[in-house]
Every structure is written in structure tokens, then in C-alpha cells.
Structure 1
Amino acid sequence: MESGSLLFSFFLIFSGAAVLATAALFTRQPLLVAYIVLGAFLGPYGMEMVTDTGLLNDIAHVGIIFLLFLLGLDMQPSHLGHLLKKTATVGLISSIIFALTGYGLGLAFGFTQKEAIITGATMMFSSTIIGIKLLPTTVLHHKHTGEILVSLLLLQDLLAILVLLLLYNFDGGFANSKMDVLMALAALPMIIAAAFLAVRYALLPLMARFDRFHEYMFLLAIGWCLGFAELAHALNLSYEIGAFIAGVSIATSPISQYIAINLKPLRDFFLVLFFFSIGASFNLSLFDEVWLPAMVMTAICLILKPTTFGVLLRANEKKSTAWEVGFRLGQTSEFSILIAVLAAGQMLMGEIAAHVVQATAILTLIISSYIVVFNYESPIAVSEKLRRD
């Protein structure tokens, strides 16, 4: 079998993941760490056994899309609006604090003005995947902690999309970038309206008529999710926002839970690829130049984020809830990696600065995962008492 083939890459990734996951379980380590380590080991900067990381990144992105779709399936539209309104102040104030901190650190590390600004932007976001993946289903769907966490992540995702839109359209100048952002924001209510109308007059009637054919229901759900993801992307929004809207639009339907249960294995398949691609994307030859600033940024992030959320949320929440949300959001994001890679491609960021951001994201993802699984309820908690699915 050719070493560069997609099938051989899948063999290496999932066989290797199974071996490392087994070792991780025996040593009581988070499985996510195993996938990232495997990516660094097998990727183009390690053993060079899996080299087509561009293709893997595209495939892995589907996992994030399904994750947001499944999240939307459990969010009632009226409840979602209430949550966003309730956490908007905390989300915006915390984002400003993180951005200013990242900007100051960038200047302290000798980054250029543009690099420092982009570094500050990457510090604003926490990981949607880590936040949701490490929440037990019962907490995510039925408890107040999960509601706060999800609303803050959604607000951050909206801010991340604005940053990405500016970067994607930077070559056209500031005026064009501003226009594209305004057009994307104008398209958002149009997509929401189209989704709810299509559900009422097309999707639900089809589901009601053919609900005995499980294969058809499975295909219809995937087509609905990916169709709206592609529509949102075409209108200068993100795939994730489109998938989330697709999920919310059928959240009130009794069929939503059936769809959620059947799509979870597919989501997990793609998320293994996502975490593998994170590890594979890091250039290990730059380690000597990026490790010190990355360690400093990681330490500050792991202290600053829980503290900031803990203090800001204390005004309306219990102390234990405020700190738990803070620790669950105490990392940078997969969006941070994406922004750094895109900025480097646009020549807005040097290779060293981009890798500092990526290394910080990887380190905070790993360390914050340890903090959560050792101290709070999660599906992969080390303690039997804390393990919840």
C-alpha cells in the first residue's frame, strides 16, 4: 500500500490512536492528549509517515461542523437568546481583557505591531471542542453550568468569525473587509429565517412521511447539516455557524434526539482526525525559538482565564459555578490555530510568531484538559466519582 495514500494514513492514525488511547486509559490520561501526541509523532515534522495534513485538516473540519450541529439540536431558540443576552457582558469584557493581554505579550516578545494585534485576537477565544467534549451530556443539556459555558463559547465563536472574515478579506483593503463583514452580518438573519421556513414546510413533512426508513433519516440529517454549513460559508459566514443554525432549527422537533444519538459516532470519528491534525501541524524544528514565549503565554492564559471568568461570573452565579466555567474555558482555541495559520499565509505574521500562538494553543488544550478531568465531571474523568457521560 502506498505510504502517501489516504487509506494508509487512516490506518496509521486510527491504529496508532487505539494503541495510545489504551496506554492513556491505563495511565489515567485524557484521550485528547494521545491524539495530539500521535499527530506530532507521525506528522510531517515527526516521522513523516502522514504528510498530507492539508487534506486531513479539511476532513477533520467536518468533526467541528458536526459538533456544532449536535450542539444546536439541544438548544431551544428562545432559551438560546436568553442565554446570549445574559452572558454578553461577561463575554465581551473578558474578551477585551484577553486581547489586551495577548497584545502586550506579543510586544514584550518582540513581535511586530500586526503580529501583536493578531496574537491578542487569538487569546480571546476558548476551545469549543474542549469545552463541549469534556462536558457530560447531562450537564451540557440540563444544567445551568452547561448553559453558561455554551453561551460564552457561542459569543466567542461569533467574535472569532469576525476576525477570520477580516483576515480572509485583508488583501482587498480595510474598506472591502469592512463591507464583507457587514454583508455577512446582514446574511445571518436571512439564513436563520430560511432554516426555520425550510424545516416547517419541507424537512419536517419529509421526516414525518419517511421516518420508518432509518437510512434515509440519517442521510437527510447529514445533508441538512452540511447544506447549511456550505450556505453560510458562501455568504461569508463560517461552516460552524451554518451547522449550528441547522441544528437549532430542528431542536424543537421530537426527531432531534434520534438524530443526535445517531450522529455522535460520526462526530467522534472526525474529531480524532481533528486533534491528530493539531499535533501534526506543529513544526518541531522551531521548538528552540518558540518554547519560552509559548510557555509564558501558556502560564498566563491558564491563570488569567479562570480568574477572569471566576470574578466576572461571581456577580450573578455561585462561586463554585463561576470557577468551574472559568477552568473549563481556561485555554486558547482551535480558532487561535486557524487564525495564526491564515495570518502567516497572508504574510501578516512571521513563522516564529505564528508557531508561538500554535504552541500556546496546543499546550493550553493539553494542560486545561488535565485540570478538568482531574477536578470536574467529564466523560473521561480520571476518578470514577467524576466520570459522567
Structure 2
Amino acid sequence: MDFGGITFTFAAIFLGAAVFASIALYTRQPIIIAYIILGAALGPFGTGLVSNTALVSDAGHVGIIFLLFLLGLDMQPKALLNSMKSSSWVALASSGIYIAIGYAITRGFGFAHNDALLVGAALMFSSTIIGIKLLPTTVLHHKHLGEVLVALLLFQDLIAIVVLVWLQSSDTGTSVIWSVARPLIMLPLLAMGCWAAVRFILIPLIARFDRYHEYIFLLSVGWCLGIAELAALMGLSAEVGAFIAGVAVATSPIAQYIAVSLKPLRDFFLVIFFFSVGAQFDVSALPNVAAAAVVLALSFLCLKPVVYQMLLRGVSESPKLAWNLGFRLGQCSEFALLIAVVALESGRLSPTAHTLIQATTILTLLISSYLVVTRFPTPIASNDALRRD
């Protein structure tokens, strides 16, 4: 048997996920935690049963792309722009505060200046996946809380893109000004191109062949992944490209049919994503950074709700909404893992600091998802009273 083949890899992931998810549900724990623990158990730093982490990571990335595409399908452009305007300064101010907190704590544990700065930069973002997946669909698409949360996450994603582009461009000698300006220039160009393509190509095709469900499915998947790749070529992220692709189709009557038909595909790849988060973590290196990771994780989990509560009340949001959103965004982001890899490969981040970012991010993902699932309405709540689709 080929233990490194794609069939064995997926079989191990989904058979293991079924077992671990059953245990999680019986013990009334968040199901996402089961996927992450499974990754650590079967990954190369655990039993080594699943060793092809590159395949798993790439497949998991597809899940994030589909998640953002489906989110865009339910977002009206006008409402999104209004939310972005009111949330932009909140995202900027909070990011600055979180960088300072991460830098100060990391320096306090004896890390070098550059390491501490990159740790702070990596940990300032909140997880798009956790934030969106744990929000009920009715709240996400039809309530003000959903609009504000999405706007904040998208603005953070743009900041993360700037950080990643800067890290990658510095190796090639690209101007720092251009590396920062490029995403801001390319984003509206991509949006206008998507709008034109939807109006003059996609809508006529859908109107002509809408009775062929298989064709609509293929067209939707091709549009999502094609625009995601185009965005990556333009210096943006594939996630942002997928979201714009979804928003561009949102005004079409077929948008809801596309959203329903792609949800099982999204969930398939998201299981792989959470598995890959656990599989990439080297448990043996944890003792070297355990104390710093615990302090960083608890600091962000405790301070993020407070910071968001203060900043959102400054833009006239209600205290209840601010606290709710603050807890839902209390974790660190999957972007932290990506920034850590890029910074390590470029020689700007030490291996110990890389492990610290991984450990802190995984801790916040685990604890934050547990807090949200047990205290707030979510689609996967273990308590029937809190379960909302």
C-alpha cells in the first residue's frame, strides 16, 4: 500500500476525523478542535501516518478559497462598502495595538527586536475561517453584526497581504513603496474586471444554460478558482480574489443556488485545512516556547474583546455587538502561519520565533473556538439552545 498516496492520505484524514468528531460530539466539545488534534496525532510530528503535508496544506487552502467565495455570494456590494468605511479605522487602530502587545511580550521573553516585531505583525490578525464559520448564516448575511465582522476581516486581510508582499518583495529588491501600493492599485482593477466579466460573459451564459445544473456547478467552480489565481498573480491573495468573484455574482438570481451547491465542497476542504493546522505543528519544539506562547495567547484572548469593545463604541456600535464581535475575533489568524513561513524562509525570523507563532496561533484557535461555541450562537454549538444555522 502507498502510505504517501493521495487516496491513503484522504482516507486517513476522513476516517480519523469521523472518529475524533464522534468523540468531540459525545463530550460536547467543538468539532473544529477534533480536526486540529487529529492533525497533530497523524502528522509528521505525531505518528507520521500522514506525511504529505504539502498536499494537505494545498488542499486545505482550497477550502479557504471556497469559504470566501460563498461569503461573497451573499454580500451586496453597497452594504459591504458602507461597512468597510466605518470599520477601516477600527481595523487599523486595533492592528497597531496588537502589534505593540505582541512585540512587548515577545521582547519580555528575551527575543530579538526583529523576531519580536514579526511575531507582533503575525499575531495582530483574527481568523477569517473561525470568524465566519462560527457565525450563524442568518446573522452573517442579514444582521449588522455579520456586516461589521466581514468588513473588519476583509480589511485585516488587505493589511496581511501588504505584510506578505513586503516580506516577499524585499528578497527581490522591489521598492517598499510599490510593495505597499500594489495591492491598493490592483484591488479596484480586479473588482472592475470581475464586474465586467460577470455582466457580459457569466450572466448571459447562465441565462442560456441555467437548466443544466452540472454546467452551472462547473462554471461556478471555474470562476471561483480562476479569479483566485488571477488575484494571486496581481499581487493580492487568492482568498481576496475568491471573495471579489463571489461579490461580483451576488446580484445574480442564481447566486443562492450556487451557494447551496458548493457548501459540501467547501466543508470537505475545510476539514483538510484544520487537519493541516495540527499536522504542521512540531510538538517536540513546544517546551522552548511554551511559557511565551501561553502568555501571548491568553493576552490576545483577554485583550481583543476589550480593544474591539472600546474601538467599536467609538464608531457608535452597541456594547452588546462590540463584546460579541470581540470574542468571536479573539483568536489569531491563519495568516499568522503563512507570515511565519515566509519570514522564516527569507531569513528574517528565527526557528524559535517561528515555533512561537505556530504555538500561539493554534492555542488561540483552540481556546477561542471553544469559548465561542459554548457561549454564543453558532451552527456547530454542542448545546441545542445555542445552535443556529
- What TM-score, normalized by structure 2, do the two folds share? 0.98
Residue identity matched to 1:132: I
How many angstroms does 1:184 deviate by? Answer: 3.2
What is the distance in 1 between the residues matched to 2:74 and 2:339? 28
In 2, the alpha carbon distance for the partners of 1:177 and 1:36 equals 36
- 1:78 CA drift (Å): 0.9
Asked if the contact 2:60–2:273 (Cα under 8 Å) also holds between the matched residues in 1, the reply is yes
**Would you say the 8 A contact 1:94–1:309 is kept in 2?**
yes
Q: Tell me by how many angstroms 1:179 deviates.
A: 2.0
4+ residue segments displaced more than 3 Å: none
Deviates more, 1:308-317 or 1:151-160: 308-317
Question: 1:72-111 counterparts in 2 under 5 A?
Answer: 72-111=72-111
Distance 1:371 1:319 in 2: 19
Look up the match of 2:227: 228
Q: Deviations over 1:97-120 (max 9, x none)?
A: 001111112211222221111111
Structure 1 residue 384, shift from structure 2 partner: 1.0
Where do residues 245-284 of structure 1 align in structure 2 (5 Å cutoff)? Answer: 245-284=244-283
Equivalent-residue separation in structure 2 for 1:29 and 1:177 (angstroms): 45
Q: What is the CA–CA distance in structure 1 between the aligned matches of 2:304 and 2:200, rounded to whole Å? A: 44
Aligned twin of 2:325: 325
Map 1:125-274 to 2 at 5 A: 125-173=125-173, 175-274=174-273
2: CA distance between counterparts of 1:109 and 1:147? 38
TM superposition shift of 1:300: 0.3
Are 1:24 and 2:49 matched, yes or no?
Answer: no
Residue 317 of structure 1: CA displacement? 1.7
Is the Cα–Cα contact under 8 Å of residues 162 and 183 in structure 2 kept in the other structure?
Answer: no
Partner of 2:62: 62
Q: Deviations over 1:312-344 (max 9, x none)?
A: 112312211110000000010000111111111
Instruction: Report the equivalent of 1:387.
Output: 387
CA contact (8 A) 2:123 2:361 kept: no
Tell me the equivalent position of 2:303: 304
Instruction: Please tell me whether the aligned partners of residues 45 and 280 of structure 1 are also in contact (alpha carbons under 8 angstroms).
Output: yes
1:357 and 2:363 correspond = no
Q: For the residues of structure 1 that align with 2:185 and 2:136, how far apart are their CA atoms?
A: 35
CA distance in 2, matches of 1:265, 1:232: 24
CA distance in 1, matches of 2:134, 2:188: 31
Q: Deviations over 1:27-78 (max 9, x none)?
A: 1001100000000000000001111101211111000001111111111111
Please report how far the alpha carbon of residue 88 of structure 1 lies from its aligned counterpart in structure 2 after TM superposition: 1.3
Letter in 1 for 2:298: A
Q: Distance in 2 between matches of 1:86 and 1:71?
A: 20
Query: Residues of 1 paired with 2:141 and 2:5: CA distance?
Result: 40
Which amino acid letter does the alignment assign opposite residue 338 of structure 1? L
1:221-262 per-position Cα deviation (integer Å, ceiling 9, x unaligned): 000001110111111111011111100101111111100001
Normalising by structure 1, what TM-score? 0.98
Q: CA deviation at 1:172?
A: 2.1
Q: Distance in 2 between matches of 1:217 and 1:350?
A: 47
Q: SS of the residue aligned with 2:386?
A: coil
Separation in structure 1 between the aligned mates of residue 59 and residue 123 of structure 2, nearest angstrom: 26
Distance in 1 of aligned mates of 2:14 and 2:177: 43
CA drift at 1:183: 2.8
In the alignment, the residues of structure 2 paired with residue 345 and residue 177 of structure 1 have an alpha-carbon distance, to the nearest angstrom, of 19
Secondary structure (helix, strand or coil) at the match of 2:124 reads: coil
Conserved? CA contact 2:56–2:276, under 8 Å: yes
Secondary structure, aligned partner of 2:63:
helix
- Structure 2 Cα separation of the partners of residues 25 and 305 of structure 1: 28
Q: In the aligned structure 2, how far is the partner of 1:166 from the partner of 1:54?
A: 24
What per-residue deviation string (whole Å, max 9, x for no partner) do you get for residues 194-239 of structure 1?
1000101100000000000000000000000011101111111110
Tell whether the 8 Å contact from 1:166 to 1:178 is kept in structure 2 after alignment: no
Aligned residues: 388
Residue identity over aligned pairs, in percent, reads 56
Residue identity opposite 1:200 in structure 2: R
Task: Check conservation: 1:181, 1:236, Cα contact below 8 A.
Answer: no
Residues 165 and 177 in structure 1, CA contact (< 8 A), matched pair in contact too: no
Q: Which amino acid aligns with 1:231?
A: L
Q: Tell which deviates more after alignment, 126-135 or 182-191.
A: 182-191
**C-alpha displacement at 1:177, in angstroms?**
4.0
Q: Which residue of 2 aligns with 1:295?
A: 294
| Equivalent position SS for 2:289 | helix
Separation of aligned partners in 2, 1:291 and 1:103: 17
- Quote the offset at 1:138 in angstroms: 0.5
CA deviation string 1:350-374 (max 9, x = no partner): 1111111111100000100111011
Question: What is residue 5 of structure 1 aligned with on the other side?
Answer: 5
| Structure-1 residue corresponding to 2:341 | 341
* Structure 2: distance between partners of 1:338 and 1:329: 18
Q: Distance in 1 between matches of 2:133 and 2:105?
A: 29
| Residue type at the aligned position of 1:385 | A
Residues 199-208 or 303-312, more deviating: 303-312
- 1:176, distance to aligned residue in structure 2 (A): 2.8
